[in-house]
Amino acid sequence: MGFTLGIPKVFQTIFDNRAMQNQRGRHLSWKKCKENARLLVKALHILIDGDLDKFKDCDCLKKNIDIDWEGTNLWVKKTRLRDLAELTHKCGRRLETEEIRDAIHGLKKLEILEDKRGANNSKTITGSDKWCFMLKLPHIDKQENLDWLFGIENKQGEWERRRNEKPNSDRPTQAKQTELAEFASTITAREASNYNATKNLGEFNQETPPDLATFTNSITSQAASDRVTNKGAIAANNRGIQLKKESEFVEARKQFELAIKLNPDNAASYYNLAEMYEDAEQFDSAIKLYRDAAFRGFAAAYCKLARLYVIEYKDWTKAVEKSRLGLQLIENERVEDDRILKSVSIVKSALLIYQAWAWKEQGRWQEALAKLQAAVKLESDRGLTYGIMAEVLENLGKKAEALAAWKNCLAYARSEERDEDIWIGKARQRLG
């Protein structure tokens, strides 16, 4: 059995529910909590992006809020509620410390925020002014994270999606909630370690009050249901892949859609469905689905986005941004399996190529060349890389090197690849 803050995870939900009340014992308004959470997330982005420098008297604030990126996760290593209150004040509207506490607990309950404190008692959990937490975000861009989390126009964000997935019946009444929280707080880490298997959890249920036993059983039942649902999603996704290979495109699409319905967090299914829309030249639909996959940490989706922004939309700025985000995601992934490492290298190479292509179109020759050289080190037999490199070298006045690049382009490029086919024609023209 896993442990969080020195107690079994089975009890952590109780503490989370208790924390969703303010000091007067009223249940938190989720609408107000969402507003406060949005301001807090926005303020933290302003701080880490360096935009706080335009305000006066912020040196002390920057010192007291230790913040950094860990991949796309925003890690607040050290802060106090009073400092966060002052930060929101600098960013337009001051939140009181209890409003910030509620916003943090709201994000935590929706599993968007991970509490990184080393506390081991309920008083420290619910009443401390000092905080250390990590926001689990899909991007490092402020607006994209705000849109993903809180929605844009008529599109629902993660906040509402996850909020709707939590039925009201799962929350104990205030009286029972307090009783269960007080009972759970008496369980020490040493005592809890005795219940480290399903059998022991069953024995424990026989000794506990009925409400808590029912509550723990509902959690274990939900976990089992989630595992079955996830297996169904994986099976549907795999059927979709096979049907696509057999050119059964309509049925393949239905299987990918089923996989997403069964598990909305399965990034691969969004990606596979996006490829089908891209093949059908429904690029807007493909972009949306690739974004959904990217939101869920699928680096190859960033590559596809960068490619579409280069090839179809000629939006060089977005192409560079998506490539950068994909590269950052890969850099923060620890991969030890050689087969996976090879796949990661291919994706990284492609991200470098499309970033370089966009920079070439912007006239940023030296930067583009550096990325292309890095791509060649990862994947030395891709014609597209050499084609783009040849044009870059020509613009830098390096004719001999450009000629060699054109030869490599012609040697490695494949005409069945749309991206490379155009470079075959260019290479033949240059080489006569």
Per the prediction, the chain carries an average pLDDT of 79
- C-alpha span between 266 and 271 (Å, rounded): 9
Considering just the CA atoms, what is the radius of gyration of the chain in Å?
26
Residue 74, beta-bridge partner list = 69, 135
Residue 284 in this model has a pLDDT that exceeds 50 = yes
Domains of the chain: 3-187 (no CATH), 197-292 (1.25.40.10)
Q: Tell me, what DSSP letter sits at residue 54? A: G
> Which pair of structure tokens corresponds to residue 202?
């069953």
In DSSP terms, 193 is beta-bridged to: none
Q: Note the pLDDT tens digit of each residue in 182-241.
A: 334 333 333 333 333 333 333 334 444 445 555 555 555 555 666 667 889 999 999 999
Predicted confidence at residue 63, as pLDDT, reads 84
Give the tokens for residue 181. Answer: 């929280």
Kindly state the tokens that stand for 239: 């059927």
**pLDDT at res. 167:** 52
Q: Name every residue whose Cβ is closer than 8 Å to that of residue 375 and which is 6 or more positions away in sequence.
A: 349, 350, 352, 353, 356, 382, 385
- Report how far residue 430's alpha carbon sits from residue 402's, in angstroms, rounded to the nearest whole number: 10
pLDDT at site 147: 92
Reported as a single tens digit per residue, the pLDDT across 248-260 is 999 999 999 999 9
What does residue 152 show for φ and ψ, rounded to 5 degrees?
-145, 130
Bridge partners for 75 per DSSP: 68, 134
